[in-house]
Amino acid sequence: MTDAGWPPLVPDAARAHLVVAGCAGFRHLPALPRAGADVAALTAALTGPGGLFAPELARTVTDPRRPADVLRLLEVGPKPDVLAFCYTGHGLKARHGRLVLALTDSVDEERQAAATGLPVEHVLDALRESGARHAVAILDCCYAERVFDAAGAENVHLLVAAGRTERAWSPPGAAHSRFSAALLGVLSEGVPEGPELLDLATIFRRLSVLLAPLDSEPRPPEAPHQSWPYPRQRAVNASGDLALARNPAFGTGRTAAGLAARARFASRVGRAGREGRPLVARRERLAQAERLFAAIARDAAEALPFGDRLRFRIHHAHASAVGEGGDPVAARRLLDALLKDWSPLAAPDDPWLRAARASHDHWSAAARG
């Protein structure tokens, strides 16, 4: 199963501009040392061999003190094809539900935030005034979804790390923020069954699964009563088709490594269905996991030898996904066939064989109801 046939919107490299801003040091707020690493790594990913932005058209700033330190970078000349803006740092609440991007001297108080930081509508104004055919804003900060309500947001593709009331927590000691680490992972690892170029829709689909909060995961140490934030996206017409980078895993979907990567992602989709938030998405995620594993199992049956252990594990996972999707009878039948094929090839104490038998017992009991 692949999206390789859908044509992306490819930036004109001579007119595609990238601005990456981050704030790591503050006078009145906790330091975010990883923000500087986020700026460097994201810029490298989007302008390096796999990126679709030319290095000479990329501008970065770390620890800006004034709004002008950021806004002047968005003055890119006449008729840009793409203008993409990325920010990593603290997001602040301002009066009337506004979002402010923190600068080095920002104060986290609603009445002072706008005067001491960079109100996000100023960034949106700059994106609009640039005349770019495609404007993109990627915000890795607390309360980032508030940008959806800002004046000027209607014509900008928005990808944000956290909801209107969510803090963008990150694991302590991590090299990158939770959101940036996931984004960088998608760009560096790719999508084995995906298209040749990674567009915004494909990237968000991966992030929405990889960053879905799970009940079994530890809560943020700073706020153990809260869950991890999850990303949001809002497209403008066909802006989701805009490509940002080449897919390093393109064409590997039927290799052993590609099948294993696809299975890991499908397993994460299944976990999101069993224990993810928001709760309203659980049933849909279980159905998606079942369809993903069906496609992976078909490809594994054609691409891997009959006795291959990865093929066995994928077919086992497919059967479990079918059961979790609500059809224990079909799951039992799939496991009947799997055990018939695998039992003569495996040792009696093979752990994967024991696990498949346990699954067979489980879904058989569920089928009897």
- As a dihedral over the C-alpha atoms of residue 121, residue 144, residue 199, residue 201, rounded to 10 degrees, the angle is -110
User: Is the pLDDT score of 313 beyond 60?
Assistant: yes
Determine the Cα–Cα distance for residues 204 and 211; give it in Å rounded to an integer.
10
Tell me what pLDDT residue 2 has.
45
Question: What does pLDDT average to over the chain?
Answer: 94
Q: What is the pLDDT of residues 85-138, one digit of tens each?
A: 999 999 999 999 999 999 999 999 999 999 999 999 999 999 999 999 999 999
Backbone angles phi, psi at 119, to 5 degrees: -60, 135
Task: Name which CATH class applies to 256-367.
Answer: mainly alpha
Tell me what pLDDT residue 233 has.
97
User: Is the pLDDT score of 4 beyond 90?
Assistant: no
Tell me what pLDDT residue 278 has.
62
Tell me what pLDDT residue 358 has.
97
Tell me what pLDDT residue 279 has.
62
Task: Assess contact for 286 and 324: CB atoms under 8 A.
Answer: yes
How large a percentage of the chain has pLDDT more than 70? 98
Q: Which residues of 64-80 are buried (b: 16+ CB within 10 A; e: fewer)?
A: beebebbbebbebeeeb
217 — pLDDT class (breaks 50, 70, 90): confident
280 — pLDDT class (breaks 50, 70, 90): low
User: ω into residue 278 within 30 of 0, thus cis?
Assistant: yes
Q: What is the pLDDT of residues 324-336, one digit of tens each?
A: 999 999 999 999 9
51 — pLDDT class (breaks 50, 70, 90): very high
Q: What is the pLDDT of residues 156-168, one digit of tens each?
A: 999 999 999 999 9
DSSP calls for 111-135:
HHHHHHSEEHHHHHHHHHHTT-SEE
For the residues 216-243, what does the mean pLDDT come to?
Answer: 87
CA 30 from centroid of its chain's CA atoms: 26
What global pTM score does this model have?
Answer: 0.93
219 — pLDDT class (breaks 50, 70, 90): confident
Fold of 16-246: Rossmann fold (3.40.50)
Placement of tokens 């330190």 in the chain: 69
3 — pLDDT class (breaks 50, 70, 90): very low
| Out of 22-36, 184-198, 209-223, 347-361, least confident range | 209-223
Tell me what pLDDT residue 283 has.
87
Tokens of 13: 């490299």
Tell me what pLDDT residue 238 has.
95
Tell me what pLDDT residue 215 has.
81
Taking the domains of the chain in order of start, what are their residue ranges?
Answer: 16-246, 256-367
User: Is the pLDDT score of 239 beyond 60?
Assistant: yes
